[in-house]
Amino acid sequence: MDHGIINTHRCAGAAVVKPEPIQLDPDPLAPYRISPGFKANGVLYLSGHAAINESGELVGIGDFDAQAKATFESLQRTLQAGGSDLSNVIKVTIYLTDMSHFEKIVALRGEWFSDPYPADTIIEVTSLALPELMIEIEAIAVES
C-alpha cells in the first residue's frame, strides 16, 4: 500500500477524498506550525482559533470582548478560505480561561450564529497557548 500518493480510496462503497489543507495568505498560524484547518468530503475541520489577527498579532490583551470578536473574525476568515462561513458551522468547542464569561459567550453565539445553532461544548481551562489568550474556538463546518 502506498500511503500519501493516492488521493481517493473506497471506504464502505463511498469515495473518500484526501484531506486538503485550508490555506490563508497571510497565515497567522504559520509561526506556530499549525494548519488553520483541513477540508475533506465537504467538511471543514478548523484548528483552535484565537484573538490573532491576519498579521499574526494578538488582539485585545486583557479585554475579553475584543478577544472574542477577533476570534470569531478569525474563524470566519478561515471558513471563507475553505469555501464556507459561520452559517455552515455544525459544531464548536469553546475554551475559556474564566467561565464567568459564559453569559457573554451565549450572547456572542446569538450574534455570530443563527438558529439552528451549532452543537457546542464550552470548557474552562487554566491557560491557552499564549498566556494572554482568554478564549479559543475550534469548529467543524460543511461547505457552502
Residue 96 has pLDDT above 90, yes or no: yes
CA dist 40 → 10, 46, 140 (Å) = 14, 11, 11
CATH architecture label of 19-142: 2-Layer Sandwich (3.30)
Quote the DSSP letter at residue 131: T
Write down the pLDDT at residue 3: 45
State the Cα–Cα distance between residues 30 and 139, nearest whole angstrom.
19
The pLDDT tens digits for 64-78 are 999 999 999 999 999
State the Cα–Cα distance between residues 38 and 56, nearest whole angstrom.
20
Q: What average pLDDT score do residues 6-22 get? A: 70
What is the β-pairing status of strands 89-96 and 135-142? Answer: antiparallel
SS (H, E, C) 95-127: EECCHHHHHHHHHHHHHHCCCCCCEEEEEECCC
What is the reported pTM? 0.87
Inter-residue contact 117 to 109 (CB < 8 Å): yes
Domain segments of the chain as ranges: 19-142
